[in-house]
A = this chain, B = another copy of it.
Amino acid sequence: MDLFEQGLENEWLRQLGERGSRLTGPRRAIVRVLVRSRRALEPLELFDAVRVEAPGVGLVTVYRTLEALEELGLVQRIHESGGCRRYLRAPQGHQHVLLCLRCGQAELFDGDDLRPLFARVAARWGYQIEEHWLQLFGLCPECQKASA
């Protein structure tokens, strides 16, 4: 078992509890899968994965748990040209997503400094910039080999 993911799982459950949510079987199972996934998952994919270990869980509970985790900022919706219904572990701190176009694997990176750009744009248009989205798409090392 991965120690980092184990810790993350406990932390998510703790935050759910903090918020007043009961720590139920279905929630534990859903959190367990989400924390460990390297890919962004659609509700139905998540549902299928959860049911492998917790067969009784309903799709509706998957939707409800995703909503709760999104409110807590533990999970984020991923936007893609093909659709925007997949969810991924949210980054900690200032990070952005790098997605593999072929297999969907996700990585988080940081180190972008866009402040000079924001300043120019703000000056040009008179906007007060509040937020920015940056997302990179490409081919992961495995998929590069596969398509070579």
B131 touches A136 (CB 8 A): yes
Contact with B along A106-146 (1 / 0, CB 8 A): 01010110100110111011111111111111111100100
Number of this chain's copies in the complex: 2
Chain A residues numbered 17-34 whose CB sits less than 8 Å from any CB in chain B: none
The answer to whether the Cβ of A98 comes within 8 Å of any Cβ in the partner chain is yes
Number of interface residues of A (CB under 8 A): 34
CA–CA, A64 and B86, complex, Å = 25
CA–CA, A139 and B109, complex, Å = 27
Residue of B nearest to A118 (CB): B136
- Beyond A130-B139, A136-B131, A138-B129, is A111–B122 a contact (Cβ under 8 Å)? no
